[in-house]
Structure 1
């Protein structure tokens, strides 16, 4: 099973990095999948992900209570608004526009339903990773 989890981790990580540069391909979900699979198979890879200066903090926030920071929420909402504007402006097929806008609206509602910060009295479940032994 360890090999399967490791394969999932590396495959998800590769797709996540592709999602950073290919519009429309999500990255966040694949980074989360990679972190989950790495935690089950490779302490070294998991440590690298959690310590990475760009992907580590959002992964730690998510592990510490499903937190999505306000800055991330604003960026996600701004990008969805930009894409929605382009869709309305460029796409003539009304059902496609409606379904796309409905999907983005559901995504935005879910993102804004998540906490923006760790609760004051809550203890973090995961702290900054130290080098695995």
Structure 2
């Protein structure tokens, strides 16, 4: 079972890194999934991920404070705002676009109401 968890964690890290480069692929959820999977498979891999200079801080902020950083919030909210516009522009059925708007609005509300990490608060 540890191999399955480690594999899932590895795939999640790859997807998270791809999400840094690809605007519509989320990074943070994949990082959280990787941390969850590594915690169940390998303390060494979990420690590596949490200690990583770029990937670790968002995971720790979520784990310790249930907080999302300002930059991540802005990027997530901007992407969620642009997605229905792009979906509509390519001619997707208006009912699908409306459903997409409703789901993304709920997720945006959740993200917007999360606190900032202690290190970003004024």
TM-score by length of 1: 0.74
SS class of match (1:64): helix
Cα RMSD for the two superposed structures: 2.1
Instruction: Specify every segment of 5 or more residues in structure 2 that has no aligned partner in the other structure, as ranges.
Output: none
Query: What is the aligned residue count?
Result: 118
Change (3 A) 1:28 1:114: same
Offset of residue 24 of structure 1: 3.7
C-alpha contact (below 8 Å) 2:24/2:79 kept by paired residues: no
- What is the match of residue 112 of structure 2? 112
2:69 maps to 1:69:
yes
* Superposition map of 1:27-42 within 5 A: 27-42=27-42
- Distance in 2 (CA, whole Å) between partners of 1:8 and 1:84 is 30
- What is the match of residue 2 of structure 1? 2
- What is the match of residue 54 of structure 1? 54
Query: Which structure shows the bigger proportion of residues in helix conformation?
Result: 2
TM-score by length of 2: 0.79
Instruction: Specify every segment of 5 or more residues in structure 1 that has no aligned partner in the other structure, as ranges.
Output: 119-133
Higher relative contact order (CA 8 A, sep 6+): 1
- What is the match of residue 101 of structure 1? 101
2:44 maps to 1:44:
yes
C-alpha contact (below 8 Å) 1:68/1:115 kept by paired residues: yes
- Distance in 2 (CA, whole Å) between partners of 1:22 and 1:74 is 16
